[in-house]
Structure 1
């Protein structure tokens, strides 16, 4: 309902006031029976929404003994706007027309007057007056039903649009899963095989250790790829949890397996929200990956602290000792970390240090994410 429309109670009171004014204009104070009928018809309008037929019947005495028309016509309009039985509406309109046409008292009716031209015009006018609120009420009812029907159609179209979008998304997910399985997984498997061969045939310990690290990371990447392929192939048919999700308990293994010289310093409470733990883990993971890619030979320090409800994680590395090898990068890692932190109400800042290294800093409010 529009906010510009008056509330139903105020509208009913307005109709009652207009009906009282109409009765006051057509009934003298000394005519008590007519005044009571007019008052009854006006007050009965308060029941027009809950008991429309009863309200119309209570307004008929007003039309019979007075010339007031507001109460019976308002009651007839309300009955028509809420009722579908056209025979009932036609009968009520005819009853109102006849009662309004006949004089009161009925004993004063002269049968010869019905044949007079003026009375025929009067009867036609009365029938038209009775039919008008019925037609108007039916029109309002049809408009209301049409509005509801249009709302249902809009909802159905929106649902159809969502289903279509989900179908398109499912196809894209399935295609992406095939590409990951057929191309990416195959190439990572080849990397793992070649690294394994190098680990066996390497002539020095440093080469074999590097090959072992490459093979371990390749195997771990394959496992994650297989899990992601399974998630994508689910295609939204059922909720799929990306398990297992990392936590702060996995930081030690992450730092040890990073392939660089790194140390971990933590001072954390025992219980932290899972979302905060995952954010810290992914931030440290991305930072260590960047150190390995862009700062060869650098050492890194990972510090995770909790002070005054704020969890702070920093990853700082020293200056590189060797030139970095150009590797493909979409430059989306830091952007993704910043977006993840923003969703949790935190911030991510990064930049070079005075010693020639680089530092990434994550701050997250803990209590907000519980």
Structure 2
């Protein structure tokens, strides 16, 4: 499939534009050669071809330059090329309909000068219907290519969001496994090594044999060093949660600005939280913002978001609100575990998490934590 698309995708755009201009010039020349044309008609014909030079940057200008020539000549290619480019770039359906109608009217004007006066109106109507059908073809094709381009961009965005979600899920699984390993090392291994140290100390005191006393002292010293290493390893396991580095600390409120800036959507961070907010609460606020912005990117394409930090006498928290999507979203499979995990984090702080649609069609995620949890 890729090989079938590459042969024309490799053609440079200037070469395509040059070919369109040449074909349009030949079409106009054939129309002019059929009858003696005045100087004004020649000027209009030249302008219709010259307008194609700027059709990619100024498609409306290119179309307007073809209309006068289309009124006095039976040209086809220049109006259709201008309509196609306009339809490929514009998203205003009403303007596209108006452009197609204008092109059809301009094409039907020459037919009113042909035939007898009695049937001129009849043939004008017939030719207008034919011209309108012909004008609709490049408009529909341009819109189809625009939709295809948007779909490719949307699929690329979805794939990027899915990879981001998979990375977050892998990091969460890795964090849980590290925490479980840290608990096992702390509760089981450290306990056993502590017993070894205690028994070795008792043996060192109780034995009268100098060799046995030295051996017990060595065992006790090694056990103490092993305990220190275990405590250090447990600390590292609990602090690390990513694959990139073993010493990276968990995110805090200081990382929120960078998170919002790198979210890939138009987002704004406002407000602040008290300096007394503890580290676990800071991580919960960070993860709430991270999950909310990820959901906006996945399920509300084109929407902007506002991240508002707030605090009061009894509670503090964060509210993430986004406007409705500006582009259609695709139905994506999801684990549905993100908000559940956030609620569990909030409950550990005796807080609450509310998520739901807003009155204007957007979405809001609000985390609220009691102020008594500041020291956590």
User: Quick check: TM above 0.5?
Assistant: yes
Query: 2:129 & 2:173 partners in 1: Cα distance?
Result: 64
Single out whichever of 234-243 and 211-220 deviates more from structure 2.
Answer: 234-243
Query: 2:234 & 2:188 partners in 1: Cα distance?
Result: 12
Question: Is residue 2:103 matched to residue 1:96?
Answer: yes
Query: 1:37 & 1:212 partners in 2: Cα distance?
Result: 106
> Structure 2 residue aligned with 1:80, among 77, 87, 93?
87
- Stretches of structure 1 that go unaligned for 5 or more consecutive residues are 244-370
Query: 2:170 & 2:144 partners in 1: Cα distance?
Result: 38
Single out whichever of 16-25 and 81-90 deviates more from structure 2.
Answer: 16-25
> Structure 2 residue aligned with 1:42, among 11, 35, 49?
49
1:77–1:137 CA contact under 8 A, matched in 2: yes
Q: Which secondary structure does the structure 1 equivalent of 2:83 belong to?
A: helix
Query: 2:117 & 2:168 partners in 1: Cα distance?
Result: 72
> Structure 2 residue aligned with 1:211, among 189, 210, 216?
216
Q: Which secondary structure does the structure 2 equivalent of 1:241 belong to?
A: coil
1:169–1:235 CA contact under 8 A, matched in 2: no
1:174–1:235 CA contact under 8 A, matched in 2: no
Q: CA RMSD for the aligned pairs?
A: 3.0
1:103–1:109 CA contact under 8 A, matched in 2: no
* Greater Cα radius of gyration, structure 1 or 2: 1
Give the deviation of 1:235 after TM superposition. Answer: 4.9
2:107–2:128 CA contact under 8 A, matched in 1: no
Give the number of equivalent residue pairs.
Answer: 241
Q: Which secondary structure does the structure 1 equivalent of 2:57 belong to?
A: coil
2:200–2:219 CA contact under 8 A, matched in 1: yes
Q: Which secondary structure does the structure 1 equivalent of 2:247 belong to?
A: coil
Query: 1:135 & 1:201 partners in 2: Cα distance?
Result: 96
> Structure 2 residue aligned with 1:60, among 40, 45, 67?
67
1:12–1:46 CA contact under 8 A, matched in 2: yes
Give the deviation of 1:194 after TM superposition. Answer: 2.0
Query: 1:190 & 1:111 partners in 2: Cα distance?
Result: 115
Give the deviation of 1:192 after TM superposition. Answer: 1.6
2:114–2:120 CA contact under 8 A, matched in 1: no
> Structure 2 residue aligned with 1:221, among 221, 226, 242?
226
2:179–2:237 CA contact under 8 A, matched in 1: yes
Encode CA deviations 1:54-99: one digit per residue, 9 max, x unaligned. 1111122332232221111111111111112222111111111111
